Amino acid sequence: MRMKWGKWLMVVVIGAGATGLGVAWDLMLRGVPVAVLDQGDLGHGTSGRFHGLLHSGARYVLTDAVAARQCQTENLRLRQVAAPYIESTGGLFAASPDVSENLVQNWLRGCHDAKIPVAPASPVQGMNAQWKRIYEVNDGVINGYQLLQALARGIRQGGGQILTHRRVVGARPMKGKIHTIVMEGPDGLEEMRADAVVNAAGPWAGHVASLWSDPLPLTLSRGIMLLFSHRQTPKVINRLDVPGDGDILVPHHHISIWGTTDTETDSPKAPTPSHAEVAHLMERGLAMFPDMGEWRVLRSFSGVRPLYRAPGNLARETRHISRDFVVLDHPLKGAFSVIGGKWTTYRLMAEQVADRVAAYLHYATPCQTGAVPLPLANAVGVGADPLLCECESVSKSQLRAFEGLSLSDLRTRTWFGMGPCQGTFCGHRVMQWRSHQIGEEAASKELAAFREERERGMCAALWGDNAVEWLLQRNIRFQSLGESQRADD
């Protein structure tokens, strides 16, 4: 096997989520050569499967003062360095009539201590009129995929490498130090020289650390979310209470995300939400928004949180494991793992990881990510070319900017297939375009995988117009397009 990548000093980051890309961007700004590997595309894991909330920290003031303060500081910082990818919606905290006044006062005090600005507010349309105690904080919305792409762009522009669709399968030491990373990619096995390796593989971090035989105190928790069409509220809405299930509504682009749940799980792969979980979320939601049953549901999806279980924390429920993060050294020199954390604090996590790695490699340059803005997206001309995806206004020229990517990667880059039709009218069009590059057979396979993924989410929330849409999709696929239902052809 030929050493394909990296002849000189190199830090390999495993995982192209917010943490991994954040670490690589940070190291790159310090002048450290980096490469990021991921088994899928950018945001393949937890970073691509969250509610999109830029926390003010107010959610955590009752349970985790440190996390609350970190969120507030990072919230303000991201508005500076990642402004194009943040929506300053503001967020409301509303207390149900069942919540004691004592709890509300504790929460207000906690916000004050964490320096979170709070102001009394009036309810938004559609909210349960019984919920009268309402406060506004500086919550916001993160456009996660766009922010990840901006980080990737910055890393590449600085000379770093991002290798997606490569699964790390081995880590070879030399004289007690990490030396080589072995990965499996589209062209088979490849090796990469590594002077340090950062395991930012999120829920897969346990698998990665086992490659150098050092198990991690990792607990996995899954969260279910429901996605509704339209911005059902102008602001983020939180339940003012001790954090629980179904208490965050986030307006995101022109949709809304309602979440979430918190149950322990053993697989890092995001599971299909069950009906019981979805029904539980709906019941919680109806208490806050009595009309939620009439909202146009699009799909349900889940994400898996990697949580760090501190030694001695015997909590039975994953909700009682801190959302804090830790950076761990391993007996294998040059190997670091980062576990836990939240999207909102990805930059801070990255800074602390990069500090450790830089110190190990004797780099003295300080962190700059708190001041250097992320690069802007390349403007893609929309022009008058036809729209392939009408729901999300994705034109052929926008796809061309990502030529070479698979259907499912194109989806997260351009957002095609994400609207109310969930690919019914655009899946085959994008497949046709793709077939000119990779041939009919390969493109059909990608379409089948795309359909399967979309269908799974739709079927997990099968009611109202979404059920109608799903049946329309099947009719179009099997009648108009003559797609095959048989797996064998």
By the criterion CB under 8 A, which residues form the site for other proteins? 275, 278-279, 282, 293, 297, 384-388, 425, 428-429, 432-433, 435-436, 440, 459, 461-464, 467-468, 470-472, 474-476, 478-486
**Which token pair is 470?**
């799903």
Closest distance of CB 382 from other proteins, Å: 12
Which is nearer to other proteins, 100 or 484 (by Cβ)? Answer: 484
The CA distance from 73 to 53, in Å, is 15
Instruction: Return the H-helix or E-strand segment holding 62.
Output: none
The CA distance from 240 to 135, in Å, is 9
Closest distance of CB 289 from other proteins, Å: 13
The CA distance from 37 to 162, in Å, is 6
* CA atoms within 13 A of residue 399's CA, in its CB half-sphere: 28
Closest distance of CB 295 from other proteins, Å: 9
Which is nearer to other proteins, 113 or 385 (by Cβ)? Answer: 385
**Which token pair is 427?**
């899946």
The CA distance from 51 to 260, in Å, is 8
Which is nearer to other proteins, 80 or 432 (by Cβ)? Answer: 432
Instruction: Return the H-helix or E-strand segment holding 399.
Output: helix 396-400
Contact 2, 182 (CB under 8 A): no
Which is nearer to other proteins, 240 or 426 (by Cβ)? Answer: 426
Scanning the structure block, which residue is given the tokens 């990818």? 85
Which is nearer to other proteins, 149 or 302 (by Cβ)? Answer: 302
Q: How far does CA 398 lie from the centroid of its chain?
A: 22
Amino acid at 255: I
Which is nearer to other proteins, 378 or 485 (by Cβ)? Answer: 485
Which is nearer to other proteins, 161 or 229 (by Cβ)? Answer: 229
The CA distance from 114 to 57, in Å, is 8
Closest distance of CB 432 from other proteins, Å: 4
Give the total residue count for the chain.
Answer: 489
Closest distance of CB 172 from other proteins, Å: 45
Closest distance of CB 483 from other proteins, Å: 7
**Which token pair is 227?**
């996605």
Which is nearer to other proteins, 231 or 396 (by Cβ)? Answer: 396
Closest distance of CB 362 from other proteins, Å: 56
Q: What is the DSSP string of 63-127?
A: T-HHHHHHHHHHHHHHHHHSGGGEE---EEEEE-TTS-HHHHHHHHHHHHHTT---EE-PPPTTS
Closest distance of CB 413 from other proteins, Å: 20
Which is nearer to other proteins, 175 or 486 (by Cβ)? Answer: 486
Which is nearer to other proteins, 287 or 467 (by Cβ)? Answer: 467
A 10 A CB-CB count for 167 gives 16
For the chain, the helix, strand and coil percentages under 3-state DSSP, each to the nearest 5: 35, 25, 40
Closest distance of CB 472 from other proteins, Å: 6
267 to 50, 142, 306, 342: CA distances (angstroms): 17, 26, 11, 19
Contacts of 356 (CB under 8 A, 6+ apart): 327, 329, 336
Closest distance of CB 469 from other proteins, Å: 9
Name the CA dihedral angle for 231, 232, 233, 235, rounded to a multiple of 10 degrees. Answer: -50
Which is nearer to other proteins, 72 or 473 (by Cβ)? Answer: 473
The CA distance from 232 to 254, in Å, is 9
Which is nearer to other proteins, 134 or 462 (by Cβ)? Answer: 462
Q: How far does CA 12 lie from the centroid of its chain?
A: 21
3-class SS at 457? helix
Which is nearer to other proteins, 65 or 476 (by Cβ)? Answer: 476
Closest distance of CB 290 from other proteins, Å: 13
3-class SS at 384? coil
Closest distance of CB 436 from other proteins, Å: 7
The CA distance from 64 to 91, in Å, is 19
Radius of gyration of the chain (CA): 23
Closest distance of CB 101 from other proteins, Å: 33
